């Protein structure tokens, strides 16, 4: 599904070059829910931006199915972002002048698809994610958790190959965070969605199938979920602490 191989990315600041990604490689299978965690500055968000091709990278390959993303021209890449990728951001990115239902339909409106089909798709996603009761309301009229579930539905409406989520619970309280993670799990189980999430939230990550731990621009370790979220959360916190202590010891 998603293959990242030997990814390198650096930034030039004046005469200095800062290497952020130093040969990152991993794969995500269809239907997986995978998170990336790591200390601030480890390269998580930079990697996500490379995968979505919002920023260029110097070396490596990123493939979505049989599509090599870096080889695409801007028009084709825009189509891939709309049709093959779904995005969920920390700040929701909903349009205040549109209802919840209209916000969910927006990617299909941009694609020029039929109104009947997009209305049915939006209503189905509202039912799956438990937000049918707010579909006629505007973003300012619903809670943060409901806005984020709306964003999840919008990301799913075009049946993308991959959902990219950047700190989706970062602005939410614990109850709302749990509801959003349940929405991701429901999308995975009911729709076969493939989800790749960058997060600092160990609770959110504990519900994923796997978690990739990054440190200093490389993959430090990968942990598999044993099936008990509370145990997995403890293991994640221990792994993160171990990664940070290794740097201090050095």
100-111 helix and 115-129 helix, angle to the nearest 10 degrees: 140
Percentage with pLDDT > 90 across the chain: 76
Among 26-30, 169-173, 205-209, name the one with the lowest average pLDDT: 169-173
pLDDT(43) > 70: yes
CA dihedral 201, 203, 207, 211 (to 10 degrees): 40
Q: What mean pLDDT is predicted for residues 98-114?
A: 89
| DSSP letter (8 states) at residue 29 | -
Q: What mean pLDDT is predicted for residues 122-151?
A: 95
pLDDT of residue 248: 55
- pLDDT band for 247, please (50, 70, 90 cuts): low
- 218-233 pLDDT, tens digit each: 999 999 999 999 999 9
Contact 216, 243 (CB under 8 A): no
| DSSP letter (8 states) at residue 92 | -
The residue assigned the tokens 């970062």 is: 170
- pLDDT band for 126, please (50, 70, 90 cuts): very high
Q: Phi, psi at residue 47, to the nearest 5°? A: -60, -45
Q: What mean pLDDT is predicted for residues 147-169?
A: 94
């Amino acid at each position: 599904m998603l293959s990242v191989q030997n990814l390198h990315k650096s930034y030039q600041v004046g005469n200095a070059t800062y290497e952020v990604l130093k040969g990152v490689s991993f794969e995500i299978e269809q239907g997986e829910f995978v998170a990336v965690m790591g200390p601030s500055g480890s390269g998580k968000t930079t990697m996500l931006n490379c995968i979505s091709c919002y920023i260029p990278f110097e070396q490596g390959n990123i493939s979505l199915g049989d599509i090599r993303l870096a080889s695409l021209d801007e028009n084709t890449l825009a189509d891939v972002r709309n049709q093959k990728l779904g995005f969920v951001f920390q700040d929701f990115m909903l349009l205040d002048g549109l209802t919840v239902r209209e916000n969910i339909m927006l990617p299909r409106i941009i694609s020029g698809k039929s109104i009947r089909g997009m209305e049915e798709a939006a209503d189905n996603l509202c039912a799956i994610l438990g937000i049918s009761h707010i579909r006629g309301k505007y973003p300012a009229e619903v809670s943060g958790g409901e806005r984020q579930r709306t964003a999840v539905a919008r990301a799913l409406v075009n049946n993308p190959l991959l959902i990219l989520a950047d700190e989706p619970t970062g602005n939410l309280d614990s109850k709302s965070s749990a509801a959003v993670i349940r929405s991701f799990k429901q999308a995975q189980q009911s729709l076969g969605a493939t989800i790749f999430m960058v997060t600092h939230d160990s609770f959110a990550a504990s519900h994923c199938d796997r978690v990739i731990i990054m440190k200093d621009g490389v993959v430090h370790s990968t942990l598999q979920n044993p099936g008990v979220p509370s145990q997995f959360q403890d293991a994640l916190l221990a792994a993160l602490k171990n990664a940070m202590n290794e740097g201090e010891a050095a």
